[in-house]
Amino acid sequence: MLLLEQLINGICTGAIYALFAVGFGIVFSTMQILNLAQGVYATYGAMITYFVLDESGLPFWLAAILGVIGAGLVAVLVDQVAFEPLRRRGVQLLGAVIASIGMWIALREVLSIATEATPVGFPPGTAPRGQISIGPIDVLQTQVLAVVCAVVVISAVYFLLHRTNVGSAIRAVGFDKRSAQITGISPQAMIIGAAMLSGAVTGLAGILMAGGQSFNFNLGDALLLQGFAAVVIGGMGDVRGSAIGGLFIGVVQTLSASYISASYQDAITFGLVLVVLLWRPTGLLGSADFQRA
Amino acid sequence: MNPTLVLLQSATMFAMAGAVLALSTYVKLWTGLLSFATVTFGAIGAFGSIWLYNETSLGLFGSIIGAAVASGLFGLLVGRVFLKLSSHWLALATVALVLITRVFVVNLVDYTGGSAGEVVAYTITMPQMAIMLALVCGLLYLLKRSQFGVAADTTREDPAVAAALGVPVARVKIIAFGLSGAIGAVGGAMQASQLSYIDPDTFYINLSVTIIASVVLGGAYHWFGSVIGAAVFTGMPVYISQYITEGQSIINGALLLVIILFLPGGLIDPLRWRRLRERRLRKRQPPDAVDGTRDPAPDPALDQAGATR
């Protein structure tokens, strides 16, 4: 029974990582940017939700939607301030990484000042707390919420990117901006749209992560690391790959913590990342997309 | 002593430690490898040298050299293993390495003090730091002019062409990692001495970000850029913190962004200087110069150098 419980815990954590990884993957596949500011979007999602709940007392779901939109807008801001000028001069790997680090540090400090670096938590009675019993197993409401949100949102993102015209346009811009433009697609609109989508999905991951606990301006940093592990293992730029990678990381972390060594849990996770990188640099499910150009 | 002077001294010493760490990253970037692994090397250097200093009779410099050798060998190993990864993937793998390093620092309590951290047993004085920095700079100065320097430049500009020209690309990259390991360990020891107390978070993501920023913003095309970058990004904050207590990171982040947008080659950019010099030269001798004895056309050699980037 313990194994089953741990497995469920792992899947619930993994669902959040999966959401984050999908958000990360959207930016990576459409713009070929390794965006280290991605974790900040998650923090902003959670923090905006917290401030809305704390100041206005709106219902949780409404506050969460505002948080998600806010995170999306932060992502657009980062893209327009940091990445757009670099794109105009032709993206360089180092330039984009450094620019994203700059935005990461600055945006994180803004939250640190706003909260005076103290941990905050969603006010009691707002976020769903408490347990649900499914047969002999107790799970937290936040965990169920995380899994449901992840499944719904990731499916929606996959559907959007692969089954709609807008999705095709976004992927076309990611593949070759100029050719896409020739067919009448506006790269600018697609890039902003992709940034918004990426920020929103990541923001949701942040809100779910913050759900049942207290958190501070660092929230997104841990997510960035785990989400990045998920993306590497699952494959960059592939929604299904990122999602499966996230689940995998969540389960591996939880199981290795309880069965192998809690203190070496991160070493096991990131050791696995190294092994995958060296064995299959494009991820277990990743296409060779990034090799192009 | 005058408090401002003390602060200035501390800022200078932090800048010197930062410069050595930045140079460790620069050596890898020289061959075109973006790597965060310097932090790992720094951790080996700091914790290793403290352990050697406490447990053996090697003395200060012996301990640092011992740790540097160990870290250099580790660097060779890392370089060998990571060899086939390129650009983004190498950066990601080295980030993973940094994360793993922290786990080991936390868990190897007997050698590192675990999560509680460790008091640094030795102090490196300012002249000693200056000598160490000078030695590292001297080494890079010599390397720049050596066969290795040419091979490294070629490898960065175009590995395929370099390989076709007979440059042993793989070996150059592995050696760069080994050098980076040894230099990074020295930098780590200097940083530790300056902090006088280190814990698992000392050598973690924050430091790696500062180091990469120093190298890229100082100028990734010349080793001196790393020294200047470190002065700006590790020395200056120490000094400025007396005037600005809050929001300093916002300034750091904005500074990073502004420099990368407006000076993509960094503060020390030999190529930009050459271009400026060339433009000045052309202005001084306009094409319609009455003199007419000298060819007003720009030196083709300079243009060629410009075209490689």
Q: How would DSSP label each residue in A85-117?
A: HHHHT---HHHHHHHHHHHHHHHHHHHHHHTTT
Q: Where are the alpha helices (DSSP H) in A32-92?
A: 38-56, 60-78, 84-88
- Cα separation, A54 vs B183, in Å, equals 50
For residue A219, what are its two tokens? 């929230």
pLDDT recorded at residue B287:
56
Lowest mean pLDDT among A261-270, B49-58, B219-228, B290-299: B290-299
The residues with which B214 forms a beta bridge, in sequence order, are none
Which one is predicted more confidently, A20 or B90? A20
Closest in A89, A103, A266 to B103, CB measured? A266
Amino acid at A290: F
> What type of residue is B34?
L
A 173-232 → B contacts, CB under 8 A: 221, 225, 228-229, 232
Q: Which residue has the higher pLDDT, B250 or B296?
A: B250
CA distance A40 to A22: 15
**Is the pTM for the entire model greater than 0.90?**
no
Q: Is residue B265 part of a domain?
A: yes
Query: What is the distance in angstroms between the Cα of B103 and the nearest Cα belonging to chain A?
Result: 6
Quick check: is B195 in a domain? yes
Q: Nearest CA to CA, how far is A102 from chain B (Å)?
A: 4
Please report, for the domain that includes residue B96, its CATH number.
1.10.3470
Mean of all residue pLDDT scores within chain B: 83
**Residue B79: its pLDDT value, please?**
92
Model confidence over B225-284: pLDDT tens digits? Answer: 889 888 888 887 777 777 766 667 787 788 878 888 887 777 777 777 788 888 888 877
CA nearest to A227, candidates A196, A257, A254, A206: A206
Say how far apart CA B34 and CA B215 lie, in whole Å.
11
Q: What is the pLDDT of residue B86?
A: 72
List the beta bridge partners of residue A215. A120
Residue B96's closest chain A neighbor by CA? Answer: A270
- Write the ipTM: 0.75
Q: How many domains does chain B have?
A: 1
Residues of B in contact with A228 (CB under 8 A): 92, 95
Backbone angles phi, psi at A162, to 5 degrees: -110, -10
Could you give the count of Cα atoms lying within 13 Å of A288 in the half-sphere of its Cβ? 3
* Of residues B239, B237, B246, the one with CA closest to residue A112: B246
pLDDT given at position B299: 42
List B197's β-bridge partners, or say none.
Answer: B119
Q: Which domain holds residue B162?
A: 3-269
pLDDT band at B306 (very low <50, low <70, confident <90, very high): very low
Q: Please state the rounded mean pLDDT for residues A244-271.
A: 85
Contact criterion met (CB < 8 Å) for B253 and A267: no
Contact in structure between B75 and B177 (CB atoms under 8 Å): yes
Per DSSP, the residues of B59-107 read HHHHHHHHHHHHHHHHHHHHHHHHTT--HHHHHHHHHHHHHHHHHHHHH
Give SS3 for B163.
Answer: helix
CA-based nearest distance B183→chain A, Å = 22
Residue of B nearest to A103 (CA): B253
Q: Would you state the structure tokens that stand for residue B187, as one six-digit string?
A: 């930098």
Residue A216: how many other CB atoms lie within 10 Å: 18
> Would you say B46 and B188 are in contact if contact means Cβ atoms under 8 Å apart?
yes
CA distances from A45 to A78, A82, A87, A243 (A): 14, 20, 26, 20
- Asked if residue B129 lies in contact with residue B17, where contact means CB atoms within 8 angstroms, the answer is yes
The mean pLDDT value for A19-34 works out to: 84
**pLDDT at position B1:** 67
The span from the CA of B304 to the CA of A92, in Å, is: 22
Phi, psi angles (nearest 5°) of residue A145 = -60, -45
β-strand partners of A140:
A131
Which of the four pLDDT bands, split at 50, 70 and 90, describes residue A109? Answer: confident
Phi, psi angles (nearest 5°) of residue B198 = -125, 150
Chain A's closest residue to B265, CA to CA, is A95
Query: For residue B196, is it within any domain?
Result: yes
Between B284 and B195, the higher pLDDT residue: B195
Interface residue A168 vs chain B (CB under 8 A): no
User: Residue B301 pLDDT > 50, yes or no?
Assistant: no
Task: Look up residue A283 and give its amino acid.
Answer: G
Chain A: residue whose CA lies nearest to B251: A106
Taking residues B38-56, what's their average pLDDT?
92
pLDDT of residue A14: 92
Distance (Å) from the C-alpha of residue B201 to the closest C-alpha of chain A?
14
Q: pLDDT of A30-42, one tens digit each?
A: 777 788 889 999 9
CA distances from A110 to A81, A84, A118, B234 (A): 16, 22, 13, 21
User: Whose CA is closest to A150, among A240, A29, A49, A222?
Assistant: A240
Q: What is the dihedral of CA B82, B85, B88, B91, to 10 degrees?
A: 0
CA distance A132 to A140: 6
A27: nearest Cα among A282, A217, A236: A236
The closest of B187, B247, B261, B179 to B217, measured between CA atoms, is B261
Q: B100 vs A274: CB contact, 8 Å cut-off?
A: yes
Indicate if the pLDDT at residue A166 is higher than 50: yes
Interface check A77 vs B, CB under 8 A: no
Higher pLDDT, A239 or A62: A62
Distance, in angstroms, between B80 CA and closest chain A CA?
11
Residue A92 pLDDT level (bands cut at 50, 70, 90): low
